[in-house]
A and B are shown apart, each in its own frame.
Chain A
Amino acid sequence: MEFVLTTEGLRKSYRNFNALNGLSMHVPKGAIYGFVGRNGAGKTTLIRLACGLQSPTDGDLSLYGVRHTDNAIHAARKRIGAVVETPSIFPAMTAEENLRHQYRVLGLPNYDGIKELLELVGLADTGSKKAEQFSLGMRQRLGIAIALCGHPDFMILDEPINGLDPQGIVDVRELILKLNREEGITILISSHILDELSRIATHYGFIDGGRIVREMSADELTGACRKCVSVRVTNVDVLVRELERRGTDYTVTGEDSVDIYAQPNITELALALWKDKCEIITCREQDENLEGFFLSLVGGESHA
């Protein structure tokens, strides 16, 4: 498999704080790589390193097979576009002026394609309005348009749907899918909105404490997301004791609810619980989603 971005044992320290602790990740070419982690897990730090905004303390980072210490890394970076945290724009310029500026930064011979870019991100009718008067969502979309200047084949998007309204989220999702499917752009996207991420990602990297705890494809995730039976009972301690006795995987999800990762015979279970005067109130089968998988991976209240 060909990788656009790989890191091996990547470390980044700020004085006494280690933001990345030997992080190793692999972003396959053509993928939409969902980068999932809690606040402070190291997502943005990794993105900053990949974009050349900061240098690693230790370890290797390669873009298109070129190590970050090689001179050729500057040429490799010409193939990427990124929105890191807040959009990088000049507030005193209009949307079109910001794009023209980026065209000049890239040394493009003409301004062809600016109107199409503005239409693509829904900013075609902003006219002479300065970026400082834009809403957060409009700034995000302008940031994406700037990142798309020069037709990059790898885009890094750090929380791109932050501050967007529901329609904006749908628009950005469709834009990302379009860029990936029609233009073949590899996309690394970090987001806290896991439900949204699960709709588009083809690969996942789960980060915790500055290291990747698991990398997997969307298909592998689907397989790994266990089906469970969610049960509400009158006495959760009795149910837990019974499940421990049977050696069944479970997660206590509330004061009176437990997710059981098995297909128990409900009648047998109900009879066993009734011996200790515990009743089953409700019982339904459900799939574990990305959020549940993430929590079980980085430390929810899961037990085995």
Chain B
Amino acid sequence: MRNLLRTDFRRLLKSRSFLVALVGVTSIVYLCMFFSSGTDGEASGVSLCNTLCSLSVLMTPLFVSGAYMLFVSAEFTGGAIRNKLIVGHRRANVFLSWNLVGLANGLIVSAASLGSAALLIGLFGDTTGLVAKNVIAASVIIVCMLISKLCMSVLISVIIPGAKGMLFNYLLTYALLMFFVIMYDSAPDSKIVNALSRCFPEGQVTSLNVSTMPDRPWLTVVCALAFSVLCVVFGVYVFKRKDLS
């Protein structure tokens, strides 16, 4: 397992997909912050942080997971996955390594983009109205959403490797967004919709902000992590039974 982690992480740091995600997400975050702050740069820290929240539950997971799917798919398209299995690595370990390296990838990109932007707001922006408890709760939820999105995208990569998997991921994102928007309107009190919205980043788009304390943040964390574990367990099950050519 340690060898796999070392190998995958080394390849990640040298891969184009990682570089594209890092530069792309950071650029978009800073551009959004620039436009949100207005021409005179006097937007409040609260509104800038809320912009960051929206970016972190919609754009960042989608961009990061899409790029990471390319990274995982490269092993299937080039056939390099065979080199791991032929020499005796267990499929469960290979799959777990992809997930762990994917999480590291997500955290690095998020820290470089969202984290640095938040730090700049904290250091140089107007922090009036920012409540530490709210910011911490939102940050924890953002990390959990990133984990759930990445675990799901690795699962999709194994089931549908290559560009088709990426396309499916994007379509799924928009389908989930539509689903939650429609369901919030038509069934705002539905417990099922409420529980589902805590599992996916798309479900947090309209509710996550630092102006107010999120509703039962611990439940969102539990749901997102439980969903992530489910994706990993199901992914290991699927990957173990997958016939590779």
Question: B85, A53: Cβ atoms under 8 Å?
Answer: yes
Interface residues in B, total, Cβ within 8 A: 26
Question: A53, B3: Cβ atoms under 8 Å?
Answer: no
Question: B87, A106: Cβ atoms under 8 Å?
Answer: yes
Of all chain A residues, the one with the shortest Cβ separation from B88 is A77
A48: chain B residues within 8 A (beta carbon) = 243-245
Stretch at the interface among A1-9, A78-86, A195-203: A78-86
A106: chain B residues within 8 A (beta carbon) = 3, 87
Question: B16, A53: Cβ atoms under 8 Å?
Answer: no
Question: B7, A52: Cβ atoms under 8 Å?
Answer: no
A209 contacts partner chain B, Cβ-Cβ < 8 Å? no
User: Can you pick out 12 interface pairs between chain A and chain B where the beta carbons lie within 8 Å of each other?
Assistant: A52-B85, A52-B88, A53-B243, A55-B241, A77-B87, A80-B87, A87-B79, A88-B79, A89-B80, A101-B80, A105-B87, A106-B87
B186 contacts partner chain A, Cβ-Cβ < 8 Å? no
B137 contacts partner chain A, Cβ-Cβ < 8 Å? no
Cα of A87 to Cα of B83 in the assembled complex, Å:
10
Measured CB to CB, the closest approach of chain B to A29, in angstroms, equals: 19
Of all chain B residues, the one with the shortest Cβ separation from A49 is B243
A104 contacts partner chain B, Cβ-Cβ < 8 Å? yes
Chain B residues engaging chain A, CB cutoff 8 angstroms = 2-4, 6-7, 10-11, 16, 74, 78-90, 241, 243-245
Question: B243, A86: Cβ atoms under 8 Å?
Answer: no
Interface residues in A, total, Cβ within 8 A: 34
Question: A104, B6: Cβ atoms under 8 Å?
Answer: yes
Kindly list 17 other residue pairs between chains A and B, CB separation below 8 angstroms, not including A53-B82, A75-B88, A102-B83.
A48-B245, A52-B85, A52-B88, A54-B243, A73-B88, A78-B87, A80-B87, A82-B86, A88-B79, A88-B81, A89-B80, A90-B11, A101-B80, A105-B3, A105-B83, A106-B87, A146-B83
Within A61-79, which residues are at the interface with B (CB < 8 Å)? 73-78
Question: A90, B74: Cβ atoms under 8 Å?
Answer: yes
Cα of A147 to Cα of B2 in the assembled complex, Å:
21
Question: B79, A101: Cβ atoms under 8 Å?
Answer: no
A54: chain B residues within 8 A (beta carbon) = 243-244
Contact among B7, B11, B82, B241 with A88 in the assembled complex (CB-CB below 8 Å): B82
Question: A107, B82: Cβ atoms under 8 Å?
Answer: no
B88: chain A residues within 8 A (beta carbon) = 52, 73-78
A74: chain B residues within 8 A (beta carbon) = 88-90
A107: chain B residues within 8 A (beta carbon) = 2-3, 6
Contact among B80, B86, B87, B243 with A90 in the assembled complex (CB-CB below 8 Å): B80
